[in-house]
């Protein structure tokens, strides 16, 4: 019956194997403790005359008791020892440090000795086994967490758990009964499965080759070879333990599995991965195969070394268990790098980073805990538990606590640089655009630069920036790039309590435009027309500063989790920059229209007036006033009036040169300063502006688009009598008089100041 509950399935996949392995390793540790308590430090030889001591371990209880190599054991604890299994049965009752009488035959003499069993537990070896087992479990969980339909991920999960189980099996059995027997049987069965699974997995790196697709029957063969030999070995051991016999012995089957099977296993892996490493068409595929091969290389070297000695007839070398464990550690490390650096499996970058960061933090905690525990125990012993040891341990704890966070951050930066260089470069490039914003000057240029860079960096069709204009919170389209540029609206007129804006402010993260459209509200309507796929809020201290509307990617890809996180950070930093720039401009620029304030534009006019007089350079100004603006406010409301002012201000600004200045002089009145401009040039520009405003249509939500006109008065310094004054009030008065004339003559017209205005 299939398991449909996702929670139950996750528990079976993630937690159950971990709990089983933890229990198995606990059994291994307790068994190792019990075995070390019974160990005496000799090896036995089961001969025709009885059981004799073959060799002694220096410094162990057997040597300290006076036993010698060649002694024939007669009795232990009053029980006769005729064969080696008799010793195994007696040793079960050994207790650490409890004296046991031993009678041996030494050169024909009967010698009675007292043996005190027990040696120190090899906790270092156990800890090493545990760490490597944890590495394999972590590798398996990373793989199965992204398995999906990827057979390689499921194979890696099963193979990793098999290796972790092998490392968790009791490795120091006192006898071949109970735990020791089943530990041995389990070792051979797991080894047989590992052979098939690892060959199968290596054949699929970086993907299933054509020869395997054409010959799917090879997959069962991978498992069949190792499985049959491993099962034969396990069955022979079980039968021989019960006193039975088979056509083959356990030694023969073990020779076939280990002495012949291991070299065959290693050679097959080397050929499979080596061929893909040398000849795969994709560079990334060669890197993946090469890394997996590199992870298996230490194990292969040991296997080939032992096989070579056997082939040459040289004596067998006993490889310490710790060496085998360290050799096994290379594989998960290499596969981790293949996953996280070269995308062996399709795991999103943000997930890969979080997994690595989590593993790094856990490893540091374990390392610091082990260092603190070992150091504390050392000082406690050396200082005999005195008051000084408490201070030493406390100081060590404080020191480790102080360096933990800096070390973790430093290692995380190292991981980013080494394993994710492209991602780190992309992140730095994206965040670098924010650092460039202040150099662009005014808000519109900053917005244009940001939109252009977003399109270029993320490969977008379009990007639009809406900025909230204080104090009313209206969203104004500040800049657009790509296909959004031609369709951008200058003012959006969204209420701050719009349901979509509230959702963005509360969420404080990028949200798909489709999700906001389902929420309804005015924002949803605007998003449909803007062609936005993703909406990114720009928040400063929890307040909405603006919105980034990002179009679809040119390649059709979706925004991945790392990009969403990066956009969130980028938008937050950009919000701070735009807010600071707006605060700086607020003292100079008027909030509604973005033009210079009255005081600022008058200061500019006085400066240009002084420069014009000092260097005898031309200077002209124009005063523009919207016609019948009060009627617009009364008929359509002040929001519509604000919209008219914004659109007219934008049109005025668009017609001017970079060297010209414009400010809001009054409610619906604008002052234009034109340096290096004669009166006739100013009149031509004013007439062009009047025609542009007359042709302007301003859409409003309360009815048909509005059409407006303006009247303008133009004055030049050459036509105004200054009388040596250092301020431009005469020029301003002349333009104001010309504006009054334009209004009096029917509005929607341009008038020039009278020559010699201001003369007595």
**Residues belonging to the active site:** 668
- Gap between the Cα atoms of 164 and 455, Å rounded: 48
Measured N-to-C along each axis, helices 629-636 and 638-655 cross at an angle, to the nearest 10 degrees, of 140
The 8-class DSSP code of residue 14 comes to I
Q: Tell me if 693 sits within 8 A of 654, measured CB to CB.
A: no
d(C-alpha 201, C-alpha 273), whole Å: 10
C-alpha R_g of the chain: 42
> What phi and psi, each to the nearest 5 degrees, are found at residue 563?
-65, -40
Contact 363, 354 (CB under 8 A): no
Q: Where are the alpha helices (DSSP H) in 437-559?
A: 443-458, 499-507, 513-519, 522-530
Cα–Cα distance, 641 to 700 (Å, whole number) = 10
Rounded distance between C-alpha atoms, residue 636 and residue 644, angstroms: 11
Q: Which residues pair with 750 in a beta bridge?
A: 712
Convert 594-624 to b/e letters by CB count within 10 Å (16 or more is b).
bbbbeebbbebbbebbeebbeeeebbbbbbb
Nearest to 534 by CA among 505, 502, 509: 509
Work out the end-to-end distance of the chain between its first and last CA atoms, rounded to an integer number of angstroms: 107
With contact defined as beta carbons under 8 Å apart, do 39 and 119 qualify?
A: yes
Beta bridge partners of 43: 55
* Rounded Cα gap, residues 694 and 709, in angstroms: 5
Is the backbone peptide bond immediately before 471 cis, with ω within 30 degrees of 0?
yes
Q: What is the rounded CA–CA span in Å between residue 269 and residue 222? A: 11
Residue at token pair 């100041």: 753
Q: 622 forms bridges with which residues in the sheet?
A: 672, 714
- Give me the sign of the Cα torsion angle 641, 644, 649, 652: negative
Cβ atoms 318, 302 nearer than 8 A: no
Supply angle C-alpha 345, 347, 349, rounded to 5.
130
Helices (H), 543-597: 561-586
- Residue 346: which residues within 8 A CB-CB, separation 6 or more? 146, 148, 150
CB-based contacts of 7, cutoff 8 Å, min separation 6:
none
């Amino acid at each position: 019956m299939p398991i449909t509950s996702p929670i139950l399935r996750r528990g079976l996949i993630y937690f159950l194997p971990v709990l089983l392995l933890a229990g198995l390793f606990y059994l291994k540790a307790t068994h190792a403790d019990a075995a070390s308590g019974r160990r005496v430090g000799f090896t036995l030889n089961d001969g025709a005359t009885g059981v004799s001591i073959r060799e002694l371990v220096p410094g162990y209880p057997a040597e300290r008791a006076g036993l010698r190599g060649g002694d024939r054991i007669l009795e232990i604890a009053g029980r006769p020892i005729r064969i080696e299994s008799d010793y195994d049965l007696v040793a079960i009752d050994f207790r650490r440090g409890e004296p046991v009488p031993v009678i041996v035959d030494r050169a024909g003499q009967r010698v009675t000795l007292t043996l005190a069993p027990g040696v120190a537990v090899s906790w270092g070896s156990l800890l090493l086994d545990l760490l490597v087992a944890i590495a394999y479990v972590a590798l398996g969980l990373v793989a199965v967490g992204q398995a999906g339909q990827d057979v390689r991920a499921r194979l890696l999960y099963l193979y990793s758990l098999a290796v972790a189980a092998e490392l968790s099996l009791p490795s120091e059995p006192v006898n071949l009964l109970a735990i020791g027997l089943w530990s041995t049987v389990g070792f051979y069965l797991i080894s047989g499965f590992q052979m098939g699974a690892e060959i199968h997995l290596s054949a699929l790196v970086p993907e299933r080759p054509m020869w395997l697709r054409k010959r799917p029957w090879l997959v069962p063969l991978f498992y069949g070879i190792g499985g049959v030999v491993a099962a034969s070995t396990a069955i022979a051991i079980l039968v021989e333990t019960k006193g039975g016999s088979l056509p083959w012995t356990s030694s023969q089957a073990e020779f076939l599995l280990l002495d012949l099977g291991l070299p065959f296993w290693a050679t097959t892996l080397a050929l499979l991965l080596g061929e893909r490493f040398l000849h795969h068409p994709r560079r990334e595929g060669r890197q993946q195969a090469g890394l997996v091969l590199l992870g298996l290389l230490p194990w292969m070297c040991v296997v080939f070394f032992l096989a070579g000695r056997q082939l040459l007839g040289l004596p067998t070398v006993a490889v310490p268990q710790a060496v085998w464990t360290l050799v096994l550690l290379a594989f998960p490390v290499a596969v981790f790098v293949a996953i996280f650096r070269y995308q062996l499996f399709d795991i999103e970058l943000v997930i890969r980073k979080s997994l690595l960061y989590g593993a790094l933090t856990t490893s540091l905690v374990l390392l610091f805990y082990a260092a603190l525990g070992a150091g504390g125990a050392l000082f406690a012993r050396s200082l005999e538990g005195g008051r000084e040891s408490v201070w030493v341990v406390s100081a060590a704890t404080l020191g480790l606590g102080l360096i933990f966070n800096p070390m973790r951050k430093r290692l995380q930066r190292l991981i980013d640089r080494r394993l994710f260089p492209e991602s780190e470069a992309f992140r730095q490039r994206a965040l670098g655009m924010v650092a460039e914003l202040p150099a662009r000057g005014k808000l519109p240029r900053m917005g244009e630069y940001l939109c252009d860079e977003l399109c270029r960096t993320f490969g977008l069709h379009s990007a639009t920036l809406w900025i909230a204009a204080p104090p009313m919170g209206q969203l104004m389209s500040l800049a657009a790039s790509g296909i959004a540029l031609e369709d951008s609206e200058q003012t959006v007129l969204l209420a701050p309590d719009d349901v979509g804006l509230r959702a963005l402010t509360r969420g404080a993260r990028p949200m798909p435009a489709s999700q906001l459209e389902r929420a309804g509200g005015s924002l949803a309507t605007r998003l449909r027309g803007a062609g936005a796929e993703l909406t990114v809020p720009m928040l400063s201290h929890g307040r909405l500063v603006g919105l980034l509307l990002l179009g679809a990617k040119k390649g059709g890809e979706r925004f991945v989790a790392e990009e969403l996180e990066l956009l969130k950070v980028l938008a937050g930093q950009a919000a701070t920059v735009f807010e600071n720039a707006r605060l700086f401009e607020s003292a100079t620029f008027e909030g509604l229209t973005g033009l210079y304030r009255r005081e600022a534009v008058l200061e500019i006019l006085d400066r240009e007036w002084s420069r014009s007089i000092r260097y005898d350079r031309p200077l002209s100004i124009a005063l523009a006033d919207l016609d019948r603006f009060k009627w617009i406010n009364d008929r359509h409301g002040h929001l519509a009036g604000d919209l008219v002012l914004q659109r007219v201000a934008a049109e005025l600004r668009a017609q001017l040169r970079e060297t010209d200045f414009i400010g809001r002089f009054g409610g619906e009145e604008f002052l234009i300063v034109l340096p290096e401009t004669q009166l006739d040039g100013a009149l031509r520009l004013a007439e062009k502006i009047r025609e542009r405003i007359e042709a302007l249509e301003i859409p409003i939500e309360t009815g048909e688009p509005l059409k407006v006109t303006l009247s303008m008065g133009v004055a030049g310094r050459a036509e105004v009598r200054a009388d040596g004054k250092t301020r431009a009030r005469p020029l301003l008065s002349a333009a104001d008089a010309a504006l009054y004339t334009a209004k009096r003559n029917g509005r929607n017209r341009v008038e020039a100041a009278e020559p010699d205005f201001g003369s007595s």
